[in-house]
Structure 1
Amino acid sequence: MTVRPTWDPAQYLRHADHRSRPFGELLARLPEPPPRPTGRIADLGCGPGHLTALLAAHRPGSRVTGLDNSPEMLARARRDHAGPTGSGGRVDFALADARTWTPQEPYDLIVSNAALQWVPGHADAFAGWLDGLTPGGVLAFQVPGNFDAPSHTLMRDLAAEPRWRDRLGGVLRHADAVLEPAAYLDRLTSLGAEADVWETTYLHLLPGEDPVLDWLKGTGLRPVLTALADDPAAADTFTREYRDLLRTAYPRTGHGTVFPFRRIFAVARRPAAERRPTADRRRRPGS
């Protein structure tokens, strides 16, 4: 069963400082703009738009479009961040699905932060996205690499129990939601891009009671909450049982709760002088 999550911008933003940190690391590794910039940037999976605004500040004068398939997220983004920037650029937002989106004009930069893990087979879209860049343009993304962490495995194990299986079977993502860094490097370089791929594990120290559960209510738990939205009692039961499992996996200390979080980054630049392979650039068997 496939469930498209319903998003809660306010819940997502409760941990905005920690969630924003990887985006800052991604921006820090971006190369200079291409020789003849168009001033067009796409933020694919922009969520509530706070990082789209940060992206616009990083590239003064650009027109940055945040794209998302969540009406709730887009409404918050437009309310808080749409409009002209002080540097002569502009930020706007549009409804789009990363599973089907293709560039309709040349972009200097296509960015996606913590969104592609929701897009099955997203690496197959790299060729089209790279083709949508100006020469010297960049595709940059960051995805969680923690689908084998307790925060995910405990959720999947609970959902697979007989009493939940009929309602939650196939709802949650598995470890294959993202590729390993070496696989991303192979896919991007095979398409002729100059690629830089790396990973970082953050040790977030979260305050408060049950902060890991609170974090996941804004992200990984959304498919469960959406699937059980018509049965609040069941949603509460699942959440309570999941909370108890998280308390054991991520014990609270006198300084807070440590939440290790691995993330995978990639920055792929389309060569300024075209020298891309002419072979079939579709996904190769076994890649």
Structure 2
Amino acid sequence: MINFNGTIQDNNSVLNSNNRGFAYGDSLFETIKTSYGKILFWEDHYFRLMASMRILRMEIPMHFNMEFLEAEIKNTLEVNGLTDASARVKITVFRNEGGLYLPETNDISFIIDTKPLEDDFYLISNDPYEVDLFKDYYISPSLLSTLKTNNKVLNVVGSIYAKENNLQNCLTLNTNKNVVEALNGNVFVVKGNVIKTAPLSDGCLKGIMRKQLIEIINAIPEYELIEESISAFELQKSDEIFISNTITGIQPVSKYRKKSFTSTISKLLIQKLNVKMRLS
């Protein structure tokens, strides 16, 4: 069961061909992890969603506050029997039907759906995780490229490319040929005591987990966090590469081309992330 504008209903009775998210990608989404009914990093998710809606000139309803959406998420979890488990929650916001490229209204609707997750805490996987560059298409850096919109064709085609080449993921490049992010998360590159991640100005997603890890790393005196462009040449010179997203937390990269990597920093950060998760 899903939550459509505050009403719990069947998943098959909501979308049609006039839905602007379907027809034009006129839509935003937030993917959130919950643990036994607790919404992780909820404030960060909420404010990113509100900022993104403003950028897309969507009308934010007066009642669309943190308390309202939190209650709707918890109601959806309860209906689906997920208050005593961990879950993936997806909030999709789309402009209401009407118009072609030019909408007839800026009013919005929302859908909340949920799926169970196996892991309650963030864990480091020891399975092989090989990546390569995806160079068929490039990200054009702009404010829009930092948003979680429904325009994810590059990520879809890149994921197909990864599967065809027996890769677990790919790293994307922007039009300046800098490494921007992975297909499903932000990228961090470690060399010595310096941990680097791409700046938002390079076009990477304004990731919620990226934000948490930046705060964690900045609190560790032994390491220096730098938001700076990453060249493809740096990847093979690095000691460690890891990918971050809200659901997985941290995914260490074990291999890029002929180079294998350690996961020392990933294991350190995952411990601190789980502590932060419990306190959030």
In the superposition, the TM-score normalised over structure 2's length comes to 0.23
Query: Between Structure 1 and Structure 2, which shows a larger proportion of helix residues?
Result: 1
Query: Between Structure 1 and Structure 2, which shows a larger proportion of strand residues?
Result: 2
Between 1 and 2, higher relative CO (CA 8 Å, sep ≥ 6) is seen in 1
